Amino acid sequence: MLQTENALFTIVMVLYFAAMILYFLFIAVKKDRLATAAAAVQTAGLVLHTAALVCRGIGAGRLPLTNQYEFATSFAWGLCLVSLVFIWRFKFPMLGAFAAPVIFLVIGYAAMQSREVRELMPALRSNWLGFHVSTAIISYGAFGVSFVLSIIFLLRGSMRDQGFWDKHVPSREKLDLISYRSVSLGLLFLTFTIVTGAIWAERAWGSYWSWDPKETWSLVTWIVYAVYLHLRLRRGWRGQAAAWFAVVGFVCVMFTYVGVNTFLPGIHSYA
């Protein structure tokens, strides 16, 4: 099973890379069919990626959501899933062109992690782990997409060849709303993550909140996006300012994800 997973993982990386190249060609050659092909390749990648995760789950005899490698590959999966949903829902293939490099970066990071399957320490053996980490994956994926959308928003003004870009990139007003949709998804799932994490911590560590750096940074991230929502309610803060805020929010997400493990000690450091 784990060998199958290994093989699938390599194919998935190739597919994500191919999708990225196709998206870039789409921008270079300006042929709509290339965007359709890129999205199709990305979808195929997602399907095989799902299969790879299932294989690993069967091979390890548990949910594949417990160490750096498993979380990184799942994060890439979440990003790919949420970006495809947004591409499809808002008929916005250009989103894929900007999301593909981020997805490839994350899966590349996953490839650098150790793929060894380790048995779980007792504190991690809980059903809450599944809820906690799977909601985190959707949340991170959605915040990743809001980050990509905000980058598109900030670049929108300087996009030349207006005919092509106008056709494939929505207006700034609409981009802002789509970004708001993805922040909403991310924030809702981050709330699920924090609540399930607190319930689990109460059972495993005897305390639902201990100001552990990972907890603290997920709270900081949560507050940053809550401020984003409030600023959007004030006139004049929609658009540009909100886009910058979503970028800052994603920096917090990334810090919670990798920075905390790298720079700060804590009880979360095994995951």
Partner 1 sequence: MKKVWIFLSSMRFAIILLGVLAAACAAGSFITQGQSLEWYASVYSKRTAALIVALRLDDVYHSWWFLLMALFLCGNLLACSVVRLPRVLRLTRSAADPEALLAGPATVTREGVADPEALFLAMRMPKPKRAQVSGREALVSAQNRAGYWGAWICHLGILLLILGFGLGQMTHREWVAYGVPGRTCQVGDTDYLLTIDDFRVDLRADDTVEQYTADITVRSTLTGEARSARISVNAPAELFGYKYYQNSTGWAARVTVEKDGETLQDEVLCAGEYLRVTDLPDLAVYFNAFYPDYVLLEGRGPATASGSLNNPGYLYSLYYQENLVGMNALLAGEEIKVDGYVIRFSEPRNYTVIQVKRDRFAPLALAGGLVTTLGLLLALYVQPRAVWAVRDDAGKWTVSGLSPKGGVLFAERFAEAAGDVEKQTT
Q: List residues binding partner 1 (CB under 8 A).
A: 90, 119, 121-123, 125-126, 171, 173-174, 177-178, 184-185, 187-188, 191-192, 194-195, 198-200, 202-209, 211, 213, 216-217, 219-220, 223-224, 226-227, 230-231, 233-234, 260, 264
By CB under 6 A, name the one of 33, 174, 203, 230 that touches ligand HEM.
230
Minimum distance, C-beta of residue 249 to partner 1, in the bound complex (Å) = 11
Q: Are 79 and 144 in contact (CB under 8 A)?
A: yes
Distance between CA 10 and CA 28 in Å, rounded? 27
Question: Could you say whether residue 220 binds ligand HEM (CB under 6 A)?
Answer: no
Question: Could you say whether residue 233 binds ligand HEM (CB under 6 A)?
Answer: yes
Minimum distance, C-beta of residue 108 to partner 1, in the bound complex (Å) = 27
Distance between CA 181 and CA 126 in Å, rounded? 32
Distance between CA 236 and CA 247 in Å, rounded? 18
Closest to ligand HEM by CB, 13 vs 252, is 252
Minimum distance, C-beta of residue 83 to partner 1, in the bound complex (Å) = 18
Of 38, 70, 68, the residue nearest 55 (C-alpha): 70
| Structure tokens, 53 | 């995760």
Of 74, 48, 208, the residue nearest 130 (C-alpha): 74
Closest residue to ligand HEM, Cβ-based?
A: 226
Amino acid letter for position 213: P
Distance between CA 237 and CA 231 in Å, rounded? 6
Stretch that binds ligand HEM, among 35-43, 129-137, 204-212, 221-229 (CB under 6 A): 221-229
Of 146, 166, 143, 142, the residue nearest 156 (C-alpha): 166
Minimum distance, C-beta of residue 185 to ligand HEM, in the bound complex (Å) = 13
Minimum distance, C-beta of residue 188 to partner 1, in the bound complex (Å) = 5
Question: Could you say whether residue 226 binds ligand HEM (CB under 6 A)?
Answer: yes
* Residue 265, H or E segment: none
The contact set with ligand HEM (CB under 6 A) reads: 223, 226, 229-230, 233
